[in-house]
Structure 1
Amino acid sequence: MDTILPERTSDADWREASAGELTSYIVTRFHERHRVQLPELIRLARRVEHVHAGRELCPAGLADVLEGLQQELESHMLKEEQVLFPMLANGMGAQARGPITVMLFEHDQHNNALEAIDRVTQQLTLPADACNTWQALYGQLDTFRKDLTRHIGLENNVLFLKASNAGEGAQHG
């Protein structure tokens, strides 16, 4: 049975949460969602690229960008779920510096992929006569981009920052 976790309205609301509560939320709210979102986005992108190849605004190469991002994200999320998140939930922020550095680097790569999506889709610009599939693709892409951006923000600005501060306190204490 799924655990129901409270939706907090801002990153600031999460600053008081425990690392365990925040990591559980991230896995449930973002990791699981990305695992559902990306295969569907890839399917829709392939369909739009196939049907509309040659049209001016056709997002040629979008499915390939999404597949690359899916592979990067799956590897990234597994590392978090199996290594980093258990460390943080167990108060091992000081020992987590190395893994956090790797995750921050990978977050930069994810942001680069989002920029590539913006380029390929011309910032999700639909042609006036876009079919339903193309409209669905861009609507779902917009949701995915917002989810991934919030996901990265929560990790970088709340979870990892809290772990780094705890680690510094332990070293100076």
Structure 2
Amino acid sequence: MMSITKERTVGQIVKDDYRTAQIFQQHGLDFCCGGGRTIEEACAKKDVDLNKIVQALNQITTDGSKEDNYDQWSLDFLVDYIVNNHHEFTRNKLPEIGKYAKKVAAVHGKRHEELNVIYYEFTMLHTEIFNHLDKEEHILFPYIKQLVEAEKEGVKPEKPEFGEAANPIAMMEDEHDEAGTSMAKIRRLSNDFTPPEDACTTYRLLYENLEGFEKDLHKHVHLENNILFPKALELEKRLNT
């Protein structure tokens, strides 16, 4: 892999080697919804040492090993991976976190008022994300699989009711931004998911699970925004040319 420079976009770097995501996460740099920014722009926005980030990224990408290269997967396989891993994780984890959030807010909300806001934000996020997953699984993802099938058969795809892939993709990306904003607010309210000294076990579990969910969400959104969606748009355009 060529040396990483400050002009490369964050999303492209993570797309090429997902291990680099850990560097961006450690420094609070958005690689999913903000993947279109260059490293220089991302570092300036967060007032992070640019040279330090570039050095750390190059150290990872030149060590000779590599994780799964999602960018090389077929689109239908990537869709199945997202549904079977990230959608399944989300559907199982959000109700569990919701129970923790409700209980902790009820018990500790008077002493730590931010817990009431966290519970409210998470409840809204829970509903929005479940609706989002349904739209992907019943509208956009089936169409992407149809595009893949059309390419295999050498035919033009049938035009969907929503016109073209760009329409639902724009909606999905907007909803990704909203989810990212909600989780960023929860992170701030929770002091980066750091429980206070008087936190009980459930309180600590809440923050631990919120942090785990945020990490999964970042990867989930990255796979869609930076790999699946751009490639689906390219495929649709190629098939209809």
Q: Distance in 1 between matches of 2:235 and 2:78?
A: 15
Looking at structure 2, the residues matched to 34 and 79 of structure 1 have their Cα atoms a distance apart, in angstroms, of 15
* Aligned residue number for residue 206 of structure 2: 137
Shift in Å, 1:55: 2.0
Q: How do 1:157-168 residues align onto structure 2 when only pairs under 5 Å count?
A: 157-168=226-237
Cα distance, 1:25 vs. partner?
A: 0.7
Deviation at 1:119, TM superposition (A): 2.6
Greater shift after overlay, 115-124 or 26-35?
Answer: 115-124
- Report the secondary structure of 2:178's partner residue: helix
CA contact under 8 A between 1:57 and 1:121: conserved in structure 2?
A: no
Q: Which residue of 2 aligns with 1:113?
A: 182
Compute the TM-score of the two structures, normalised by the length of structure 1.
Answer: 0.86
For the pair 1:81 / 2:137, whether they are aligned, the reply is: yes
Higher relative contact order (CA 8 A, sep 6+): 1
Residue among 94, 106, 114 paired with 1:38:
94
Identity %: 34
When the two chains are superposed, the root-mean-square deviation of aligned CA atoms in Å is 2.2
1:85-130: CA deviation from partner (whole Å, max 9, x where unpaired): 0111111699311111111111111111111211321221211232
For 1:119, the aligned partner's letter is R
Runs of 4+ in 1 over 4 A off after TM superposition: none
Alignment partner of 2:222 out of 137, 153, 166: 153
Residue of structure 2 in register with 1:23 after alignment: 79
Is the aligned partner of 1:48 residue 2:48? no
Question: With structure 2 as the length reference, what TM-score do the two structures score?
Answer: 0.63
* Residues in 1 aligned to 2:201 and 2:134: alpha-carbon distance in whole angstroms: 34
State the 1:165 CA deviation.
Answer: 2.2
Between structure 1 and structure 2, the one with the greater Rg is: 2
Query: Any stretches of 5+ residues in structure 1 without a counterpart?
Result: 1-8
In structure 2, list runs of 5 or more residues that go unmatched: 1-16, 19-66, 148-156
Q: Which moved more, 1:53-62 or 1:160-169?
A: 53-62
Query: Could you say which structure has the higher helix fraction?
Result: 1
Displacement of 1:57 after TM fit? 7.1
* Cα distance between partner residues in 1 of 2:206 and 2:69: 31
How many aligned residue pairs are there? 164
Q: CA deviation at 1:12?
A: 6.8
